[in-house]
C-alpha cells in the first residue's frame, strides 16, 4: 500500500512565525505536490516537484517555498505565516506522467489543518 504521511494533523502558529510542513512518501514516486484546500475554492496547487532538488510553481506559490533534498521527502515552508494562510494543506505523490496519457494517479496524505493566529 502506498503511504503518504504528513508531519502533523493539526498545527497552530502565530502570525510571522516560520512554519515547516513535512511530507514523506514510501513508494519511490518521482512527483510530489503541495495543495491547499479552502471551502468554496477546492484544491489549489501551491508547488510541485518532479525530481530531487527540482521544483515548479503551481497556481498560488506566493508566500510559500518548498524543499526537496531527498526523493521521499517534500517540505512546504511558510516563511512568515499570515492569517490568510489558515487552511488545510494536502501533500500528494505520483509516478511520472506517461507521454500522451496524462498525469498518473496521485496518492494523498491525511492533510494538515493549519491555523495561523
Q: What residues line the site for other proteins (CB under 8 A)? A: 4, 31, 33, 35, 40-43, 45, 48, 50, 56, 58-59, 88, 90, 92, 97-103, 105-111, 113
**Shortest Cβ distance from residue 92 to other proteins (Å)?**
8
**Closest to 29 measured CA to CA, from 53, 2, 57:** 2
> Between residues 2 and 17, which has the closer beta carbon with respect to other proteins?
2
- Tell me how far, at minimum, the Cβ of 80 lies from other proteins, in Å: 27
Cross-strand bridge partners of residue 11: 114
How far is Cα 86 from Cα 109, in angstroms, rounded to an integer?
18
Task: Report the alpha-carbon angle 94-82-77, nearest 5.
Answer: 35
Mention every residue, 6+ apart, whose C-beta is less than 8 A from residue 94.
29, 30, 31, 33, 103, 104, 105, 106, 107
Closer to other proteins by Cβ: residue 17 or 38: 38
CA distance 48 to 45: 8
The least CB distance from residue 86 to other proteins, in Å, is 15
CB of 75 to other proteins, least distance (A): 17
Nearest residue (CB) to other proteins, 14 versus 97: 97
- Please, which residue, 5 or 80, has the CB nearer to other proteins? 5
Amino acid at each position: 500500500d502506498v503511504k503518504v504521511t504528513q508531519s502533523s494533523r493539526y498545527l497552530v502558529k502565530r502570525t510571522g512565525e516560520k512554519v515547516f510542513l513535512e511530507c514523506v512518501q514510501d513508494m519511490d514516486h518521482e512527483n510530489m505536490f503541495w495543495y491547499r484546500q479552502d471551502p468554496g475554492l477546492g484544491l489549489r496547487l501551491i508547488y510541485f516537484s518532479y525530481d530531487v532538488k527540482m521544483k515548479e510553481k503551481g497556481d498560488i506559490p506566493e508566500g510559500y517555498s518548498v524543499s526537496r533534498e531527498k526523493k521521499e521527502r517534500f517540505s512546504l515552508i511558510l516563511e512568515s505565516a499570515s492569517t490568510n494562510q489558515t487552511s488545510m494543506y494536502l501533500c500528494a505523490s505520483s509516478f511520472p506522467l506517461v507521454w500522451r496519457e496524462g498525469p498518473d494517479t496521485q496518492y494523498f496524505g491525511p492533510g494538515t489543518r493549519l491555523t495561523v493566529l
